[in-house]
């Protein structure tokens, strides 16, 4: 059994409750079963300059059938011009996979 983990980042200038409200929409629309949110440090090159700053990382757990729609929704609502959106299929036990599928129906 497997689930899909979709990850993106949001600006650290957003307050924690704003990140939570943004993420909550995906839960209320049953696009994801759960979301983990944490603070990270990102070091990246943008416009030929190396940057280092804190960001919020969000990791969404969903069913593979919903992944394309979830990615489109993240892109349309994202504040960055070029958002990081990555995903992986993750092996999981049968009960967890069943819970994810049930949660997103």
**pLDDT (tens digit per residue) in 25-82:** 999 999 999 999 999 999 999 999 999 999 999 999 999 999 999 999 999 999 999 9
Distances (CA, A) of 102 to 4, 31, 95: 14, 11, 10
Which CATH number is 71's domain given? 3.30.70.120
Split into its structural domains, the chain has a count of: 1
Structural domain harbouring 6: 2-103
**64-87 per-residue burial string, b: 16 or more CB within 10 A, e: under 16:** eebbeebbebbeeebeeeeeebeb
Helix, strand, or coil (residue 43) = strand
d(CA 74, CA 9): 10
Q: What is the pLDDT of residues 36-48, one digit of tens each?
A: 999 999 999 999 9
């Amino acid at each position: 059994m497997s689930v899909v983990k979709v990850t993106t980042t949001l600006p650290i200038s957003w307050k924690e409750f704003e990140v939570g409200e943004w993420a909550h929409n995906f839960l209320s629309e049953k696009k994801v079963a759960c979301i983990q949110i944490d603070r990270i440090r990102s070091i990246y090159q943008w416009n030929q300059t190396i940057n280092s700053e804190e960001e919020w990382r969000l990791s969404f757990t969903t069913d593979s059938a919903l992944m394309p729609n979830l990615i489109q929704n993240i892109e349309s609502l994202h504040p960055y011009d070029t958002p990081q959106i990555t995903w992986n299929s993750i092996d999981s036990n049968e009960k967890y996979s069943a819970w994810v599928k049930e949660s997103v129906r």
